[in-house]
C-alpha cells in the first residue's frame, strides 16, 4: 500500500474512534502510521500501538530492529512488540528465543 494511502486510512480510523493501531516492520508502513498518530492531535497514551519484529537471529538484531521501528514511527514507545511469524531458527531448541 502506498504510504500516503496508509497515512490517510490510519488518520480516518483514528478520527472514527479507533485507538489500537497494528503495524509491522514487514508491512513497510511504520513511517506513515507514525505520521498519522502524531498528526492526530491525540495524546500518545490514548493510542495503543502494536508492532512486530521481522525474523531476526539474535538479541542484538532485535534491539537494532526495535530501535529502527521507533525511529520510523517517530514515537517514544510501542505498547506491544511481537515476534512476527516466530518459526524456524527463531524457535529451535537453544535458539535465541528458546529461554535455554
Give, as one character, the DSSP assignment of residue 12.
H
Decide if 21 contacts 10 (C-beta within 8 A): yes
DSSP state of 30: H
pLDDT of residue 83: 81
pTM: 0.81
**CA Rg, the chain, in Å?**
15
Residue that has been written with the C-alpha cell 508492532 in this structure: 51
Known active-site residue 77: no
Helix orientation angle between 3-16 and 30-39, rounded to the nearest 10 degrees: 40
pLDDT averaged over consecutive 10-residue blocks of the chain (100 residues)? 95 98 92 97 96 78 89 96 69 59
Task: Identify the DSSP state of 74.
Answer: T
What is residue 59's predicted lDDT score, i.e. its pLDDT? 75
Judge whether 75 and 34 are in contact, CB under 8 Å: yes
Q: Which of 27, 40, 66, 86 is catalytic?
A: 27
Amino acid at each position: 500500500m502506498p504510504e500516503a494511502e496508509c497515512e490517510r486510512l490510519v488518520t480516518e480510523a483514528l478520527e472514527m474512534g479507533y485507538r489500537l493501531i497494528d503495524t509491522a516492520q514487514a508491512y513497510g508502513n511504520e513511517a506513515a502510521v507514525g505520521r498519522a498518530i502524531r498528526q492526530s492531535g491525540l495524546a500518545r497514551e490514548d493510542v495503543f500501538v502494536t508492532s512486530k519484529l521481522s525474523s531476526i537471529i539474535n538479541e542484538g538484531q532485535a534491539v537494532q530492529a526495535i530501535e529502527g521501528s521507533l525511529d520510523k514511527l517517530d514515537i517514544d514507545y510501542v505498547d506491544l512488540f511481537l515476534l512476527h511469524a516466530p518459526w524456524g531458527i527463531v524457535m529451535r531448541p537453544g535458539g535465541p528465543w528458546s529461554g535455554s
